[in-house]
Amino acid sequence: MKAIAVIGKNFGDEGKGLACASLAQKVKNTLIIKHNGGGQAGHTVEEAGGKRFVHHQIGSGAEFGADTLLAETFLADLYQLGKELEEFKSLYGFAPRIYAEKDTKITVIDDVLRNMFIESARGKERHGSCGMGIDECQKRNAHGYAITMQEVSDMTAKDLFQRLKTIRSEYGSRDLQKIKEKFETNNPGVKSEYYEMLTDDEVLASFSEHIKEGIEAVTIIDASKDMLEKYDRLIFETGQGLLLDVDYELYAPHLTSSKTGLHNIALFLDKREMALDEVIYVTRSYVTRHGNGPLPCEVKRDELPGVGVDLTNVTNEWQGSIRYAKHESIEAFAAPIKEDLKSVENSKSTRNTSKALLLTHLNETNDMVYFEDTDISADELSKELTTAHGFDRVYTSHSCYDTDI
């Protein structure tokens, strides 16, 4: 059994879905472990035959038979998962196996509505949130109002409705009027529909029914060492990228509310006395950012020769349009990876982990990697990273269908 972590090096959208699917396609008995963030991830898997699917909570590689585990540190959105499973089954003709740990937390409808309400209330000072309720879910959990997958499974829809009403009354309503006032100040003349939904019991009742249906598609398990070792390959599929990590203060407050590197993975494996064999950091041959916040070396897309339109990261109300940039210096290129590795240097599971990089979108840039001062060929960059920056290997991808991993 081999355990591999796939992690985005930048602001997300690097090609993590491609990497995970490529790994899963080569080893059929695979478990993909989703361990951070929640339903806001969007990892695209394309096949040469024309099929294309954007994975949010289903592991990238499920189309090749891989199972998915929603780990304890993942925030499951059962409402969205139900919709995603329907879309997957419609395209591929089967439903993938989805497992979850009993203490995996869920996002609820009020997390999403509050997220949208708060972000809208910021007016021109939006953070660039995905609008999926992740930050609000984390805050609710921290205040002692978490709901786990096991609890959803055990409760009736009526019990769940009452639980959500209690959370709304004791926690959610405490600052609702202030948010409403800020929204009205920054959006004059606009009706605050989010406020109406956040005070409507029918919204909670409908949501309770939907997620009771959603939990039926999930098998709650004890993800023990024995269970995990029945697989030939474990793939830790990480959402977002290192530069969006909740603790990466350089780009605060435009961050995600989760650990986007090795942190959760090391905890998961240390707990089970297992080892991580390889970590693969993924980056495009250029940089993108979908959302507000700093983007060093930002340029227009047409200033990057060969770079085409991104079909996954479409313009939307919450993140706006995808943005483009060149990489900074090679030192800056490697810096977040070195920080991530240092953060788990005391973990037993990562002591002998092989360190690799995957360069994607090289087909667009004619095998060149775009840097601020000068463009560097993929071969030259590979030599520099392996000789001077501690990487054991550099993988490449020259199409949206496969890699040389």
The domains found in the chain, sorted by start residue, are 2-102+222-396 (3.40.440.10), 105-216 (1.10.300)
> What's the pLDDT band for 315 if we cut at 50, 70, 90?
low
The pLDDT value recorded for residue 254 is: 84
Closest CA relative to residue 404, chosen from 59, 1, 4, 22: 22
- Quote the pLDDT of residue 317: 63
> Virtual CA dihedral for 22, 26, 28, 33, nearest 10 degrees?
-40
pLDDT score recorded for residue 257: 86
More confidently predicted of 191 and 231: 231
Which residues are paired to 355 by β-bridges?
Answer: 279
Cα separation, 365 vs 360, in Å, equals 10
- pLDDT score at 128: 56
Helix, strand or coil for residue 66? coil
CA dist 94 and 91 (Å) reads: 8
CB atoms within 10 A of CB 355: 20
* pLDDT bracket for residue 312 (50, 70, 90): confident
Cis amide bond preceding 188, omega within 30: no
For all residues of the chain together, what is the average pLDDT? 94
pLDDT at 318: 54
| E strand or H helix that includes residue 35 | none
Quick one: pLDDT at residue 86? 97
State pTM to two decimals.
Answer: 0.94
pLDDT digit string (tens) for 106-127? Answer: 999 999 999 999 988 886 666 5
